[in-house]
Amino acid sequence: MRSLFALMLAGYALGAAAAVLRPGGRGGRGLVAAGAVLGGAAGLALALQVLLTGTPFVLEAPAVLSIADGLLFRIDRLGALFLGLVGFLAVPCGLYGAAYSEGYEGRASLRLLGALLNLFLLTMSLVPCAGNVLTFLFMWEGMSLTSYFLVLTETDEPETVLAGGWYLAMTHAGLALALAAFLLMATSSASTTFGDLRAAAPALSPSARNAVFLLALLGFGSKAGIMPLHVWLPRAHPAAPSHVSALMSGVMIKMGVYGLLRVGLDLLGGGPTWWGALLIGLGALSAVIGVLYALMEHDLKRLLAYHSVENIGIIFIGIGAGLMFQSFGLPALATLGMVAGLYHTINHACFKGLLFLGAGSVAHALGTRNMEEMGGLIKRMPRTALFFLVGACAISALPPLNGFASEWLVFQALLGGSAIPQPEVAVVMPLAVAMLALASGLAAACFVKAFGITFLAIPRSARAEQAHEAPRSMQAGMAMLAIACVALGLLPFAVAPILGSTLAGLGRVTPAAIELTRSLPLQVPGASGQMSPPLLALGLVVLLALLPLGLRLLGAERRGRVGDTWGCGRIGQTPRMEYTATAFAEPLRRVFAELYRPTRDLSIDFHPASKYFVQSIAYRSEIHPWIERLLYNWPLRGIRRAAVWVRRLQAGSLHLYLFYLTLAFLVLLTMARWWR
């Protein structure tokens, strides 16, 4: 295990070093990618070893930064799951990046991209490996900072810089809150290792435990992108290079989930019912509102970013249900909820990574992310289209792909809500079921739009007409994730027990309930139903194979010809006659007008002679998320006012600074004297 750990570090270090020393050229980019792939593969292997054997991996370096207990790495099963997730996505994204970064040739940011990508992967891999607070926060901050700079590498447009600013502010606010949570726990603990914190947690007063949980929820929730802390996510994720977007949406936001599980479930060992109910509520809100905003988005990558908010919501619903069942002492159902949440975590990493890579290929080929300029790409980029379609079906929870498998588990967990003895609490569950169903239906509508407008019909612009297929290495990255989407969809009966084993020994989940059987059809303890994705897939394949045979037996006509699309008698179809993304989403915009509150701006120019002749019409409609305005305007105003005040101190005069220096020195001296 030690050698695998070393290999992981060496891989990422090699990639980073190669980027700095030999940035350009095919070989240089290849080396950077090789580093990421090697590091990722080693991390995945290490994680699998820990997951399957169950023996945690421990590495101590107390001499480094000894002032705060030194560095300590301890990978248990829960950590290994998330470490494996990073490695699992690092491989395809690294491969993809080799060709994608060709667009950076000749730019200064190529060096930065390669080096930071590897450092980002390295620090992110080490977050779930951390065994004490210092290591955790150190790696967490490394992950945040490297990803911040990665967001800035694609362009230097003011919008991107602003997006980076939002991200930086939110992630640091989150860090401060997480730090506060850890400090609060450490007050009664011998040291800041997670083991000691866990041991000391029962001694905390209930109100302190609640405070720790809430701080962790806010801190880690801001990284996970849960509503209403998601504001940075749809801004920053699309701005990053596409394989970085894939990593950020696929795994980085999952570190928020990890942090919350580590603190809420592992260190605190679960809590009162309202913790779970709060998670379910936030999750349901995120799921529905996230997908609703995604529907209105015509920037392909931003659409995907809003879907990350939705899926984090689904994950939170699963975990929240688990926590809630746990508080009622229903271990089987608690396991089911947690497993559902964790399964969706993995699945979302797969399909969202795939979709971001697909969107990146499209953006790479067209030079735009605006869906209204796309269309007809299925003929120009057939493989990318196929991979994107797989991802779109998976995220829409269509059977037999992986999104369906995990949403089915979440549904089953929620259906188990009838086991809760208090009806007034149990009523949360059907509401969550309804929200989850609405979200998944809307997600399907959104991905009909995303795939249909982007890849089908006639090209809507000259750029789309001249699009070209993505290079081989980018295709390879997408193919790997597409295969994973299918495999994870077919094998829930094999994956669920492994996920269940990561919960062993966490909180008060009894190990007996974690023994999920590898049965076909999938039958999970606590769930009220059973199903079997492999048999379902087999059935569909058999039916699809029998159909042409049946048609032949029926004596169906087999000839066909190619003609024009019917245009009500008009010959010659132009892209302007097609349905647009805006038009596609219009019915839902009307239905949810109360949420969107779109601004409409209609100006009509009449002919000067008569107002019955219209010369031109300009129509403009925009949607500004008012929830964000409501929640963030007043703190932003406060910060601005404070900044103006601080600027008075920062006058730019050297004399003034010398005065501050002296003053501070004197104050410190007096304090030091007083202290003694």
Partner 1 sequence: MVAIIGFALGVSQAALALLLAPGLVGLVRWLKARLQNRRGAPAWQPYLELAKLFRKEVVVSSNASWVFRAAPFIVFASTVAVALLVPILLVPLPFDGVGDLLVVVYLLLLGTFFLSLAGLDPGSAFGGMGASRAMTVAALAEPTVALAIFALALSAGSTNLGQIVARTMSGPAAVSPGHLLAFLALFIVTLAETGRLPIDNPATHLELTMIHEAMVLEYSGRYLALIEWAASLKLLIFFSLLSNLFVPWGVAAGLTAGALTLAVASLLVKLVILAAVVAVLETRIAKLRLFRVPELLSVSFVLALLAVTSSFLLR
561 belongs to the binding site for partner 1 (CB under 8 A): yes
556 belongs to the binding site for partner 1 (CB under 8 A): yes
Query: Is the distance from CB of 457 to CB of 375 less than 8 angstroms?
Result: yes
CA dist 533 and 402 (Å) reads 9
Phi, psi of 57 (to 5 degrees): -105, 130
559 belongs to the binding site for partner 1 (CB under 8 A): yes
583 belongs to the binding site for partner 1 (CB under 8 A): yes
287 belongs to the binding site for partner 1 (CB under 8 A): no
CA torsion sign, 240 to 341 to 303 to 223?
A: negative
Minimum Å distance from CB 462 to partner 1? 16
Instruction: Using alpha carbons, select from 418, 431, 618 the residue that is nearest to residue 528.
Output: 418
Residues with Cβ within 8 Å of 499's Cβ and at least 6 positions away in sequence, in order, are 81, 338, 339, 342, 343, 346
Please give the DSSP secondary-structure letter assigned to residue 267. Answer: I
445 belongs to the binding site for partner 1 (CB under 8 A): yes
Candidate list 441, 511, 635, 638; residue touching partner 1; CB under 8 A: 441
491 belongs to the binding site for partner 1 (CB under 8 A): no
Instruction: Using alpha carbons, select from 391, 387, 386, 375 the residue that is nearest to residue 467.
Output: 375
Minimum Å distance from CB 227 to partner 1? 18
Pick between residue 154 and residue 578 the one whose CB is nearest to partner 1.
578
572 belongs to the binding site for partner 1 (CB under 8 A): no
Residue found by looking up tokens 């299918």 in the block? 486
Phi, psi of 600 (to 5 degrees): -115, 140
Minimum Å distance from CB 571 to partner 1? 12
Question: Per-residue x/- marks for partner 1, 202-221, CB under 8 A?
Answer: --------------------
CA dist 73 and 70 (Å) reads 10
Pick between residue 547 and residue 642 the one whose CB is nearest to partner 1.
547
Minimum Å distance from CB 374 to partner 1? 12
Minimum Å distance from CB 12 to partner 1? 39
Minimum Å distance from CB 137 to partner 1? 41
Candidate list 398, 487, 491, 623; residue touching partner 1; CB under 8 A: 398
24 belongs to the binding site for partner 1 (CB under 8 A): no
Stretch that binds partner 1, among 34-42, 141-149, 335-343, 521-529 (CB under 8 A): 521-529
Query: Is the distance from CB of 76 to CB of 258 less than 8 angstroms?
Result: no
Minimum Å distance from CB 303 to partner 1? 15
517 belongs to the binding site for partner 1 (CB under 8 A): no
**Ordered DSSP codes for 408-438:** HHHHHHHHGGGGSS-HHHHTHHHHHHHHHHH
- Residues 418-437 close enough to bind partner 1 by CB under 8 A: 418, 423, 426-427, 429-431, 433-437
Stretch that binds partner 1, among 117-125, 301-309, 318-326, 577-585 (CB under 8 A): 577-585
CA dist 154 and 460 (Å) reads 25
- Determine the size of the site formed for partner 1 (CB under 8 A): 86
Minimum Å distance from CB 435 to partner 1? 7
Stretch that binds partner 1, among 141-149, 303-311, 466-474, 581-589 (CB under 8 A): 581-589
Pick between residue 179 and residue 389 the one whose CB is nearest to partner 1.
389
579 belongs to the binding site for partner 1 (CB under 8 A): yes
393 belongs to the binding site for partner 1 (CB under 8 A): yes
554 belongs to the binding site for partner 1 (CB under 8 A): yes
Minimum Å distance from CB 402 to partner 1? 13
Q: Where are the alpha helices (DSSP H) in 54-74?
A: none
Candidate list 228, 399, 471, 497; residue touching partner 1; CB under 8 A: 399
Minimum Å distance from CB 575 to partner 1? 8
539 belongs to the binding site for partner 1 (CB under 8 A): yes
CA dist 109 and 537 (Å) reads 45
Pick between residue 252 and residue 395 the one whose CB is nearest to partner 1.
395
CA distances from 470 to 80, 99, 561, 668 (A): 33, 9, 31, 61
CA dist 226 and 223 (Å) reads 8
Minimum Å distance from CB 86 to partner 1? 30
Residue found by looking up tokens 């703190």 in the block? 635
468 belongs to the binding site for partner 1 (CB under 8 A): no
Residue found by looking up tokens 């699998």 in the block? 48
585 belongs to the binding site for partner 1 (CB under 8 A): yes
Instruction: Using alpha carbons, select from 405, 377, 386, 404 the residue that is nearest to residue 483.
Output: 386
415 belongs to the binding site for partner 1 (CB under 8 A): yes
Candidate list 557, 602, 654, 674; residue touching partner 1; CB under 8 A: 557
Query: Is the distance from CB of 152 to CB of 161 less than 8 angstroms?
Result: yes
Candidate list 192, 532, 596, 625; residue touching partner 1; CB under 8 A: 532
- Retrieve residue 626's tokens: 């008012």
Residue found by looking up tokens 């592992």 in the block? 266
286 belongs to the binding site for partner 1 (CB under 8 A): no
CA dist 254 and 247 (Å) reads 10
Candidate list 61, 494, 543, 643; residue touching partner 1; CB under 8 A: 543
- Residues 319-378 close enough to bind partner 1 by CB under 8 A: 375-376, 378
Stretch that binds partner 1, among 121-129, 525-533, 616-624, 629-637 (CB under 8 A): 525-533
Please state whether 469 falls in left (phi above 0), alpha (psi between -120 and 50) or beta.
Answer: beta
Query: How many CA within 13 A on the CB side of residue 27?
Result: 2
Minimum Å distance from CB 541 to partner 1? 9
570 belongs to the binding site for partner 1 (CB under 8 A): no
Minimum Å distance from CB 196 to partner 1? 43
Phi, psi of 299 (to 5 degrees): -90, 115
Minimum Å distance from CB 422 to partner 1? 10
Stretch that binds partner 1, among 103-111, 231-239, 531-539, 617-625 (CB under 8 A): 531-539
Pick between residue 248 and residue 429 the one whose CB is nearest to partner 1.
429
CA distances from 490 to 281, 486, 495, 521, 613 (A): 30, 6, 10, 11, 61
529 belongs to the binding site for partner 1 (CB under 8 A): yes
Stretch that binds partner 1, among 46-54, 75-83, 349-357, 449-457 (CB under 8 A): 449-457
Candidate list 2, 26, 379, 647; residue touching partner 1; CB under 8 A: 379
Candidate list 147, 412, 473, 501; residue touching partner 1; CB under 8 A: 412
CA dist 251 and 256 (Å) reads 9
CA distances from 398 to 311, 359, 361, 445, 637 (A): 15, 20, 24, 12, 44
CA dist 602 and 449 (Å) reads 26
CA distances from 370 to 202, 299, 301, 363, 542 (A): 53, 5, 9, 9, 39
Minimum Å distance from CB 625 to partner 1? 20
563 belongs to the binding site for partner 1 (CB under 8 A): yes
